[in-house]
């Protein structure tokens, strides 16, 4: 088993590779998430442009079930993000840097490498038609109200409520599946 100190060291190495001082996130209690084995992932959904959103099999199955029940209840849900590798997370961060955005800012809406639930293959970003994909507006939709009432029954938990302890912005679209305890 890898220790918390080893995880922090790995995160520091990834940040150093990006030219970011790890002190930027030192005050935050960000958890480390191991990267899912890419060979274990299945396609949970493919969007209109042909982009496949992949999850671990249990999370994908739960996604299909929740999406089906939402549709039965008159709510349309679709994915805008699912599994992403540490390398992809680092590319997203590099893109923010190229735009001149400071780490203190982008780390409020983008997790440092190793700290994203998306690495697990269990996290999804959800949207509904007629809604901007990544804004707090999703929190005002009937789809979000439906998720708040029903998501836990499918194993999904909203990760970043308002004033969350990790310093991330409110993300009503970000949900993570937790396998049932056996």
Low-confidence residues in the chain, pLDDT < 70? 1-2, 134-136, 182
CA dist 100 to 26, 29, 157, 181, 182, Å? 21, 25, 33, 44, 47
User: What pLDDT is attached to residue 136?
Assistant: 64
174 touches 107 (CB < 8 A): no
In angstroms and rounded to an integer, the radius of gyration of the C-alpha atoms of the chain is 16
User: What pLDDT is attached to residue 3?
Assistant: 74
Angle at 99 between CA 122 and CA 19, to 5 degrees: 75
Q: Which of 119, 117, 94 is nearest to 106 (CA)?
A: 94
Give per-residue pLDDT as tens, 107-142. 999 999 999 999 999 999 999 998 977 666 899 999
User: What pLDDT is attached to residue 179?
Assistant: 87
67 touches 77 (CB < 8 A): yes
> Nearest 10 degrees: CA dihedral of 113, 171, 150, 141?
-150
The count of other CB atoms within 10 Å of the CB of residue 177 is 25
User: What pLDDT is attached to residue 2?
Assistant: 66
User: What pLDDT is attached to residue 49?
Assistant: 94
User: What pLDDT is attached to residue 157?
Assistant: 97
Q: Provide, for the chain, the percentages of residues in helix, strand and coil under a 3-state DSSP scheme, each rounded to the nearest 5.
A: 40, 15, 40
The count of other CB atoms within 10 Å of the CB of residue 100 is 6
């Amino acid at each position: 088993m890898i220790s918390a100190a080893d995880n922090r060291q790995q995160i520091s190495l990834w940040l150093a590779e990006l030219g970011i001082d790890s002190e930027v996130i030192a005050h935050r209690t960000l958890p480390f998430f191991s990267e899912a084995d890419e060979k274990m992932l299945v396609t949970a959904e493919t969007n209109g442009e042909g982009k496949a959103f992949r999850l671990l099999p249990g999370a994908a199955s739960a996604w299909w079930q929740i999406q089906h029940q939402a549709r039965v209840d008159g709510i349309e849900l679709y994915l805008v993000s699912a599994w992403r590798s540490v390398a992809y997370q680092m590319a997203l961060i590099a893109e923010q840097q190229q735009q001149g955005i400071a780490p203190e800012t982008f780390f409020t809406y983008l997790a440092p490498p190793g700290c994203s639930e998306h690495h697990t293959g269990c996290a999804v970003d959800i949207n509904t038609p007629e809604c901007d994909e990544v804004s707090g507006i999703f929190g005002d939709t009937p789809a979000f109200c439906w998720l708040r009432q029903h998501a836990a029954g499918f194993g999904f938990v909203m990760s970043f409520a308002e004033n969350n302890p990790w310093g991330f912005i409110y993300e009503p679209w970000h949900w993570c599946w937790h396998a049932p305890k056996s």
